Amino acid sequence: MSHQPSSTVRVAVTQFEPAWLDLPKAVEKTCRLIREAAENGAKLVSFPECWIPGYPAWIWYVREYSCPSSISKNSLQADSAEMRRICQSAADHHIAVVLGFSENFKGSLYISQAIINAEGSIEVLRRKLKATHMERTMFGDASGSALQNVVELPDVGRVGTLACWEHTQPLLKYHTYHQRETIHVAAWPPLYEHDGGPGLYSMSKEGIATLRTASGVTMNTPGGGSSAIFGPDGRLVADGLPETEEGFIYAELQLDDILKAKGFLDVCGHYSRPDLLWLGVDKKEKTHVV
C-alpha cells in the first residue's frame, strides 16, 4: 500500500534577532529555535537571509567603519563542526530546516542557503545567484549549482528557496516554479513597509550598536521584522508579529489549496506555451581551473 502524503503541513517561520557576528552563539540560538519549533509541532522551520552571523548592514552606506574580518571569522562553513551541529539538531528533533547564512568558503564569502531534511542531511546547498547592489563589495556570485534549489522532503513536500532580490529575476523564478514547489521559502534580511523617507531596512538596538549603523541613512532604527506566510493564491495565511518583537509564526498549510490555484492558473502547465517560449538552463558548476 503506497504512502499518501498528508494534505496538511505545520510550518514555522522565525522572526528573531541574530546573534550578531558571533558564530558559536548563532549556532546555539539556531539549535534552540529548531528544538522549539519542533516541540510546537512544526515539520519545517525557516530562517532569514544571512541569519548566521547576521546581515552586514554597514555595507549600505559609505563610512570608515566596516567589519570584514569579523563577519569572515564568524561566517559558517558548509563542511564544519558548526554546520554538523545544526544538522544534528534537525535530526534530533525530526524537523526540516531552511537555513540562510553567510558562507565562508576558503576565505571568500557567499550569501548561501541550505535545506536540511529531518534526518539531518543537507539536501540543497546553494548560493545567491547574484549578490545585490552593495552586497557585491563583500559577497561573491554563485554558479550552476545555485539552480538546484528545490527538493522533495518526506512529510513536507517539495521545498524550494530563493534569497532576497533573486525574487526579482523572472527567469530564475520560472525555473523554480518548474521544479514543482509545494512550499517556497523566500529569505530576506529585515525589511519593513516603506515610510516615504530615505530608509529601507532596520534592525535591533544591539544590531545597530554592533554594526555601528546609527549614523547611517539606512538600518539605523530599531524594528524591521516582517515575517509572514502566504497561500498559493497570494492570500495571507499567517500575519507577522510586531516588527520589534521576536517570535515564531506558525501555520497549518492546506496543500490541496495548491491544486485549486493550479486549476485556475498554472504558468508552467496549461497556461504556458513552450512551443513559443521556453527557458534554457545551464546547471553545470563552473570551476576556476579546467
Top mean-pLDDT range of 31-40, 197-206, 244-253, 277-286: 31-40
In a domain, 129, yes or no: yes
- Distance from the Cα of residue 233 to its chain's centroid: 21
In a domain, 210, yes or no: yes
Q: Is the pLDDT of residue 39 over 70?
A: yes
Sign of CA dihedral 173, 231, 199, 76: negative
| 166 is an active site residue | no
Contacts of the segment 264-267: beta carbons below 8 A, 24+ positions apart? 264/233, 267/174, 267/177
Q: Is the pLDDT of residue 116 over 80?
A: yes
In a domain, 278, yes or no: no
Q: What is the pTM of this model?
A: 0.90
Question: What does the pLDDT read at residue 206?
Answer: 78
Tens of pLDDT, residues 223-259: 767 889 999 999 999 977 887 788 999 999 999 999 9
Structural domain span for residue 192 = 8-264
Question: What does the pLDDT read at residue 59?
Answer: 80
Question: What does the pLDDT read at residue 284?
Answer: 93
With cell 568558503, the residue in question is 105
Model confidence band, residue 193 (pLDDT cutoffs 50, 70, 90): low
- CATH number, residue 251: 3.60.110.10
Spatial distance between the Cα atoms of 156 and 10, rounded to a whole number of angstroms: 9
Q: Is the pLDDT of residue 279 over 50?
A: yes
Evaluate whether 45 touches 33 at the Cβ level (below 8 Å). yes
Model confidence band, residue 63 (pLDDT cutoffs 50, 70, 90): low
In a domain, 214, yes or no: yes
In a domain, 56, yes or no: yes
Model confidence band, residue 196 (pLDDT cutoffs 50, 70, 90): low
Name the active-site residue from 29, 130, 164, 181: 164
Question: What does the pLDDT read at residue 215?
Answer: 72
Question: What does the pLDDT read at residue 1?
Answer: 40
Phi, psi of 248 (to 5 degrees): -100, 150
Model confidence band, residue 67 (pLDDT cutoffs 50, 70, 90): low
Percent of the chain with pLDDT over 90: 71
Q: Is the pLDDT of residue 29 over 80?
A: yes
Name the active-site residue from 49, 82, 166, 181: 49
| 128 is an active site residue | yes
Percent of the chain with pLDDT over 70: 88
With cell 491544486, the residue in question is 259
214 compared with 238, residue with greater pLDDT:
238
In a domain, 209, yes or no: yes
In a domain, 274, yes or no: no
Model confidence band, residue 200 (pLDDT cutoffs 50, 70, 90): very low
Question: What does the pLDDT read at residue 197?
Answer: 59
- Count how many domains the chain has: 1
In a domain, 95, yes or no: yes
| 106 is an active site residue | no
Evaluate whether 78 touches 125 at the Cβ level (below 8 Å). yes
Question: What does the pLDDT read at residue 134?
Answer: 85
Tens of pLDDT, residues 70-115: 899 999 999 999 999 999 999 999 999 999 999 999 999 999 999 9
**Average pLDDT rounded to a whole number, residues 50-60:** 88
The single-letter code of the amino acid at 163 is A
Q: Is the pLDDT of residue 3 over 50?
A: no
Question: What does the pLDDT read at residue 141?
Answer: 95
Name the active-site residue from 128, 130, 135, 166: 128
Beta bridge partner(s), residue 161? 185
Q: Which three cell numbers stand for residue 122?
A: 543537507
